[in-house]
Amino acid sequence: ATPLAIMVGTGRGAQLGVLVKGPEALEDTREVTTIVLDKTGTVTEGRMTLVASETPGLTPEQADVLLDSAASVEARSEHPIAQAIAAARPARVPVKGFRAIPGSGVVATVKGAGADGANAEVHVGSRRLFDEVPEVLEQAAHAAEGEGRTAVLVGRSPVAAGGLGMGGLAVRTPLVAEALLVVSDAVKPTSAEAVRAFRELGLDVVLLTGDNSRAAQAVADEVGISRVIAEVLPGDKADVVRTLQAEGARVAMVGDGINDAPALAQADLGLAVGTGTDVAREASDLTIVSGDLRAAADAIALSRRTLGTIR
Ligand code: ADP
Ligand code: MG
């Protein structure tokens, strides 16, 4: 590209609400064939709220103990799901030994969380954390996911220190889900139009998320995306981009989270959502200042026109 092309491109880019890191970024923008969109915080607003909870078989008092325990554990996590749960239930119980399991959930020891008032480990997260999910919770989770919502399960286990059984073998009781929390996150009002614009540019559009497939599919249907890659662990998002590249695609990736940074760096063109994390911005070539994905389509259209005419 000539210096003029860069000036024109970056000037209009700024008007569209796109920050361009360097001249090469425009060249890469022009050649993109596939655009991969992160779900939470990119296609959706990324501001979750707790919309329902189910605690089958528990008395109201038992349910409060379990859900306040879950909220107290989530108060230690920065995940948008955690923030929704912690905000909805402000009562706090003492918590220690907090651990996050990336892409799955959180666990900690909570004072008095056991059914008998003993301390217990409280687990909050996706299905993959649990050994057993009772049918009634499974069905309620399916129904919520079918509407694009995220189902979060809660369960408890005895504190590990008491877990040495006969013959010195650690005995682990199966972890059973006892409660369901449903969190909801609205799709951005401009996302469907942005997807339409990407398709008009001839791009393949892919939705990529760590969330459940059913919830991801519901969001994809709402905005008109036909290809969904869901239940991807944070460390595996970059591999998905690499696989698409190995199939011959020139990949643009749009993301907002710390989780997305390796995939943004791996992509031929990384686009950060300006409302997201610094880490995502640093790993990207372009930043969509407002988070409106239509600006990404404008940037691709513009780079094709600008670089196409000047050279
Ligand atoms: P995304 O790709 O949407 O940013 P993540 O990889 O961060 O998703 O998380 C994937 C899934 O792991 C979530 O949809 C949720 O089921 C579960 N999860 C992760 N962190 C938490 C948490 N703090 N509390 C509850 N569930 C969680
Ligand atoms: Mg995200």
Sheet holding 150-158, edge to edge: 49-54, 177-184, 150-158, 120-125, 105-110, 95-101
Judged against a pLDDT cut of 60, whether residue 184 lies above it is answered with: yes
C-alpha Rg value of the chain to the nearest Å: 22
**What is the rounded distance in angstroms from the CA atom of residue 201 to the CA atom of residue 211?**
28
Q: What is the pLDDT of residues 121-178, one digit of tens each?
A: 999 999 999 999 999 999 999 999 999 999 999 999 998 654 454 555 566 789 999 9
181/126 Cα distance (integer angstroms): 10
Q: What is the pLDDT of residues 62-78, one digit of tens each?
A: 999 999 999 999 999 98
Average model confidence (pLDDT) for the chain? Answer: 90
ipTM of this complex: 0.96
Q: What is the distance between the alpha carbons of residues 73 and 82, in angstroms, rounded to a whole number?
A: 8
The per-residue pLDDT for 116 is 86
How far, in Å, is the centroid of ligand 1 from the Cα of 199?
29
pLDDT of residue 168: 52
Tell me the HSE value of 2 on the side-chain side, using a 13 A CA sphere.
Answer: 9
Domain ranges of the chain: 3-46+187-310, 49-184
How far apart, in whole angstroms, are the C-alpha atoms of residue 89 and residue 131? Answer: 26
Q: Is the pLDDT of residue 5 over 70?
A: no
Q: What is the pLDDT of residue 304?
A: 84
Whose CA is closest to atom 26 on ligand 1? 125
Report whether CATH 3.40.1110.10 matches the domain 49-184: yes
Query: Which of the two residues, 250 and 7, has the higher pLDDT score?
Result: 250
Residue among 38, 211, 256, 260 flagged as catalytic:
38
Å from CA of 244 to ligand 1 middle: 23
- Ligand 1 geometric centre to CA of 51 (Å): 17
Where is average pLDDT lowest: 79-93, 154-168, 240-254?
Answer: 154-168
- Exposed/middle/buried for residue 106 (C-beta within 10 Å: 0-12, 13-18, 19+): buried
Sheet order of strands, 18-20 included: 18-20, 286-288, 269-273, 251-255, 34-38, 204-208, 227-229
Q: What is the pLDDT of residue 30?
A: 82
Same fold, 3-46+187-310 and 49-184: no
pLDDT at residue 12 in the model: 62
Element containing residue 204 per DSSP (H, E): strand 204-208
Q: Which helix (H) or strand (E) holds 157?
A: strand 150-158
Contact 254, 38 (CB under 8 A): yes
Residues with CB under 6 A from ligand 1: 39-40, 74, 77, 79, 81-82, 103-106, 124-126, 150, 152, 209-211, 234, 257, 259
Q: Which CATH superfamily is domain 3-46+187-310 in?
A: HAD superfamily/HAD-like (3.40.50.1000)
**What pTM, to 2 d.p., does this model score?**
0.87
- Mutation test residue for ligand 1: of 72, 95, 104, the one with most atoms within 8 Å of CB: 104
38 catalytically annotated: yes
122 vs 124: CA distance, rounded Å: 7
